[in-house]
Each structure stands twice: as structure tokens, then as C-alpha cells.
Structure 1
Amino acid sequence: MKIIVLGSAAGGGFPQWNCNCRNCNGQRNGTINATARTQSSIAVSSNGTDWALINASPDILTQIRNTPALQPNRNKRDTGIAAVVLMDAQIDHVTGLLMLREGKQLPLYCTPAVWDDLTTGLPLMHVLSHYCGVQWHPLPTNQFDQHTAVHIPGIEGIRFTPLALKSKAPPYSPHREQPQAGDNLGLIIEDIATGKKLFYAPGLGQIEPHIDAAMQAADCLLVDGTLWTEDEMITLGFSKKKSADMGHLPQSGNGGMIEVLDAIDGPRKILIHINNTNPILDADSHERAVLTQHGIEVAFDGMEITL
């Protein structure tokens, strides 16, 4: 099973187009050791030709151009994207669907809660119905020990098991203030032949028992690396919201992602969905050194993982 990190940044990418924080300025000016990143998405394949796209970032066209495996040459018009799986309905994870409109009908896998958001608050499905169209495959909202796996035609030998996470729907959602199971997912991606598992969760605000069990059983963790501290956005003057208010577990502090990952022995540990303000984007920063000491990697665009 092969996983390619198409994009590793949080919403807005890095550097963010309108941001002059230390990281964004430093990356533009070459004064810090930091690599530009597009908005988070991964692709998964068993044969290296047919891929499941996990989240459709606004940067999808750039990501396809940078990933030759997604552009096979079997027909006059062709794509390696066999299906799209959505973890949530956030703008930075769904608006790339519009960029895929020139292709064939899109097999789309998402929960009923996400589908509802994309047919009401942000009616992308109505728009796409006038172009390629979408074939919806509902994902179950597994919790605790109720694990129902999904097999995607064209992605043979891989099993996808969605796990419901506690989170809020996007700001535009009709049920923004009434969270529903399936607003946000973690995903177990398993190679059936080898039994190797990736646990993927770019938005992870709380480690519930069923999520902890999934992380403990995984061979690789690709999880939320949005912010370094709980009050990062407040301290820098960019927001009045804490990390928890945005549905993200910060890396540092009591109960932070470093502490969570330290308690899990065995799997490879990688952070993804990194906000432009996070000091770990600077490869020479103290914070990056701390991650290295704890055996935690930072995802980058084009990173390849084989399980």
C-alpha cells in the first residue's frame, strides 16, 4: 500500500496568501528554513496507478501536476483518481471537487452529515450535477467497537474504516451548533494482504477511547499538527479562538499531541495539516527539534509512505 502526501498544510496553505507572520514572511524571503506547502490531502493506492483521493483540496490541480502517478496515460482523457473520500465538509477539503468537473462522474464517499452540508449550506453537489456529476456512497459513522469497513471499487486490496470524531460542522453548515456523528472522521486505511494500517486524522480535537484504540493498533499515524500551542492564534493576534475551539489538539502542553503520541509505542508518527503560524514549519526551530527528540516527523508535500 502506498500513500502520497499531496498537501500538508492547513487551510490557506503555506505561506498563506495574505499572511505576514514570521513563518510566511520568512519562507517568502528565504530567512527561515521552511518549505512551501499546499492544503492537506493524501492519495492511497495498492497498484500505483489507481488512487483514492482523501479530501479534495483547493490546490488539487497543483497537486496533480506535482504527482505524475495521478496522471496516467491510458486514454485521451485519463486520471489516476478512482474515487474521492471526504473526511469532513470544510472548504479546504471539498472545494477541489470543482476542479475535477471536466472528468467522468465522480464516485464520492462521505457521511450523510457531510453530504447534507454539500447539498445545502455549500451546494457543491448541485453545481457538479451540471458537469461531471457525483455518485454518492454513504460512509458509516463508526464509533467505539462498531467498525464497518468500506471497499472502494478500483482500489483493490485496501480496506477503509471511518471513525466518527467529536467536532463541529463548518461555519456555513445548517447544523453548525448541533454537532452530528459524521461531521468529522478519522480513517483507518488497511492493506488487506499485509494487515498494515495507517490511521489518518488531519482534524483531531479529542482522543476518545475508540480513537486511542485505532491509534494504538496502527503501523503509521498521520495526525493533526495544526497548532503548536492552545493559544497560538490569540497570542499572535490572528484570532480570538483557541486550538480547541477550532477542533484541533495542539502539540505542546498537558494532553497535547506530543504527550498522546509518546504514550503509543511502535508506529511511525507524522504530523499533517500544519497551520502557517506553527513554528514547526521552520526546520531549524526549537519546536522542530523537540518533535525530533520525540520521534515525530512533519509531513511535507510529496512525502511517500509505503506500508
Structure 2
Amino acid sequence: MQIIVLGAGAGGGFPQWNCNCPHCRAVRRGSGELTPRTQSSIAISADGERWLLCNASPDIRAQIAATPELQPRHGVRDSGIAEVLLVDAQIDHVSGLLSLREGCPLDVWCTPSVHRDLSTGFPLFPMLGHWQGGLHWRPIELDEAHPETTFRVPSCPGLVFTAVALHSNAPPYSPRRGWPSTGDNLGLFIEDGVSGTSLFYAPGLGEMTPGVHDYLARADCVLVDGTLWHDDELPRLGVGRATGAEMGHLALAGEHGLIRELDALPATTRRILIHINNTNPILDAASAERAVLDGHGIEVAVDGLRLTL
């Protein structure tokens, strides 16, 4: 199994276009301790030729330009992207589908909840139906009665995907915002039937449950939510009012923070943070918070990171 981190930043990327926080200001000035990041997305492949795009960020065009594996290689019109899988309906995870319209028809895997939001409040499915057959929905069957489901994706032979419902939040435009339902957000446990290795991917993890912890503990590598250091980070810096819990992101620090949960994983598990907000001090490689992560053996993803499991 091959994984490419196309974007490691949270919504807005780093630096965010309208943000003048110390981190964004410093990275614009070329600080050597701060690395720009585009918005969160990864690509997964079993053969290095066909790639499953996990989330289509608004930065997808730049991400493709930086990733030869996803560029045309076999025809006048071609792409390494064979299919798309969406873990939620957040704008920073789905609006890149608009930039992929020339590649339609395109198979898109998502839950019924996500498909509903992308057919109504943010109607990408009906909108892109005007381009060469549009988006073909491939259901990931998560609902209240089925909080987990296992399936296979044609472009990734040999890989087995298990979608796990996460406690997070629906997008701000969704009628379920504040009252999320099963299927609004999922984590992916991916097993390679050949190598026997596994990945758990969860860029939007709002709450740790026993079930999620079990999947984290089973994985050889976890690529998980590093959005915020403090739950009240945005209000504390004066750049927003919502807490991490309200947005559906479990903060790293604190008695019940994600660092503590990652510490409980087997020593052999590789632990990597993704979906990092521009306010998070871990973006500064020289920060005290980054030193804390180093002490716990936790990595911070950057765009272009490649993993082979």
C-alpha cells in the first residue's frame, strides 16, 4: 500500500489567505521553521498506477501539479486519479470535485449522509451532472444500525477498506450541523491483503470511543486529526468563536487530548498528524509544542509525504 499526503493543512491551508496570525505572517516572510501546507487530502494506491483520492480539496490542481503519480501519462486526456472517496461533506474536503469536472464521469465513494448534503445544501452531484456524465455515487453504507462497514474499491485491488463512523460534526451548511448523524464523518481502516499492513486515516476526529481506539491500536500507521493544540485555540487567539469540540476536532493537549490517546498505542505504531490548522503552534518546528510531540514520537505531516506500508 502506497500513501501520498497531498495536503496536510486544515481548511484555509497554511498560510490562510486572509489570516495575519503570527504563524501565517511568519511563513509569508519565509521563516525556515514554518512550512506551507495545502488543504487536507491523501492518495492511496495498491499498484502505484491507479490512485484513490481521499478527499478532494480546493487545492487539488496545485496538488496534482506537485505529484507526478497523479498527472497524465497514458493518453491525451488521462489521470492517475481513478476514483474519489470522501470522509465527510466539509467544503475543504469536497469542493475540489469542481476542479475535476473535466475528468467526469468519476466514481465517488461516500455515505448516504454526505451524498444527501452534496445533492442539496451544496449540490455538487446534480451540478456536475452537466459534465460528461458527472459523478457516479458509490455508497458507503453507514447508518445508525451500521456504524461500521467493510468494502473494496476497484482501483485498489488487494486493499480492504473498513469505514468507521466518527463522532464529529456535519458541515456548517448542513441541516444536521450541531446534531450530526451516523455517516456525517468517517475514519478509514485500510488493510493490505498482500503485506498484511494497515493504516487508520481520520482527519476529522471529534471524540475518542472504544471502537475508534481499537482500530487505532490495530493499525501499523495512524494518520489522524491534528487540527488544534488547545480546544479553545480560535477564541484564545481572537480568530474565531468555535471550540474544537464544537467543530468536531479533538484537541491535542489536555487530560483527554489526542496526545494522551496516541501514547496508549503500541510502541511500533507510526503516529502522524494531518489536517493542521494555521493557528496550531506545532506548525513551528522550533516551538515548545513541537518538542512535546517529538518527545512522544508523534510526527507532523507535510505536503508530499510518502508512505509505503
Task: Please give the range of the TM-score, normalised by the shorter of the 2 chains.
Answer: over 0.9
Q: Secondary structure at the match of 1:101?
A: helix
Equivalent residues in 2 for 1:78-89, closer than 5 Å? 78-89=78-89
User: Does residue 214 in structure 1 map to residue 215 in structure 2?
Assistant: yes
How far the C-alpha of 1:167 sits from its partner, in A, is 2.0
Is the CA contact 1:142–1:148 (under 8 Å) kept in the aligned structure 2? no
Change (3 A) 1:101 1:50: same
- Are residues 146 and 95 of structure 1, via their aligned partners in 2, closer, same or farther at CA, if it must alter by over 3 Å? closer
Tell which deviates more after alignment, 105-114 or 131-140: 131-140
Structure 1 equivalent of residue 296 of structure 2: 294
Match for residue 61 of structure 1?
A: 61
Q: 1:35-76: CA deviations, max 9, x gaps?
A: 100000000001111000000000000000000000141111
Q: Which stretch shifts more, 147-156 or 84-93? A: 147-156
Cα distance in structure 2, aligned partners of 1:176 and 1:125: 20
| Structure 1 residues 147 and 231: CA distance shift in structure 2, 3 A | closer
| 2:232 alignment partner in structure 1 | 231
Q: 1:71 to 1:237 in 2, by over 3 A?
A: same
Structure 2 distance, partners of 1:24, 1:50, is 35
Secondary structure of residue in 2 paired with 1:182: coil
Q: Which residue of 1 aligns with 2:38?
A: 38
Q: How big is each residue's C-alpha offset from its partner over 1:205-255, in whole Å with a ceiling of 9 and x where there is no partner?
A: 101111011001000000000001111111100112111111111111111
SS in 2 for 1:264: coil
Work out which of the residue numbers 269, 272, 277 in structure 2 matches 1:270. 272
**Normalized against structure 1, the TM-score is what?**
0.97
Q: Is the contact between residue 107 and residue 136 of structure 1 (CA under 8 Å) also seen in structure 2?
A: yes
Per-residue CA deviations over 1:92-141 (Å, capped at 9, x if unaligned) read 00000000000131101000000000001000111100014011111022
1:194 and 1:57, CA in 2 relative to 1: closer, same or farther beyond 3 A?
A: same
The structure-2 alpha-carbon separation of the partners of 1:49 and 1:143, relative to structure 1 and needing over 3 Å to count, comes to: farther
In structure 2, the partner of 1:13 is 13
C-alpha distance in 2 between matches for 1:158 and 1:126? 30
Give the residue type in structure 2 aligned to 1:2: Q
The offset of 1:32, in angstroms, is: 5.4
Structure-2 separation of matches of 1:21 and 1:212: 34
Evaluate the alpha carbon distance shift between residue 89 and residue 13 of structure 1 in structure 2; reply closer, same or farther with a 3 A threshold. same
For residues 172 and 147 of structure 1, do their structure 2 counterparts lie closer, same or farther at Cα, with a shift above 3 Å needed?
closer
TM-score (norm 2): 0.96
Q: Which 4+ residue blocks in structure 1 deviate beyond 6 angstroms?
A: 142-146
Residue type of the partner of 1:276?
A: N
**Matched-pair contact (CA < 8 Å) for 1:147–1:161:** yes
Return the alpha-carbon distance in structure 2 between the equivalents of residues 176 and 45 of structure 1.
33
Secondary structure of 2:303's partner?
A: coil
Deviation at 1:262, TM superposition (A): 0.5
CA RMSD across the alignment = 1.4
Contact map agreement 1:49 1:72 (CA 8 A) in 2: no
The count of residues paired between Structure 1 and Structure 2 equals: 307
Aligned equivalents of 1:245, 1:4: Cα separation in 2:
29
Consecutive unaligned residues of structure 1, counting only runs of 5 or more, are none
Q: In structure 2, what is the equivalent of residue 117 of structure 1?
A: 117
Q: For 2:176 and 2:285, how far apart are their aligned partners in 1?
A: 39
Classify the secondary structure of the residue corresponding to 1:23: helix
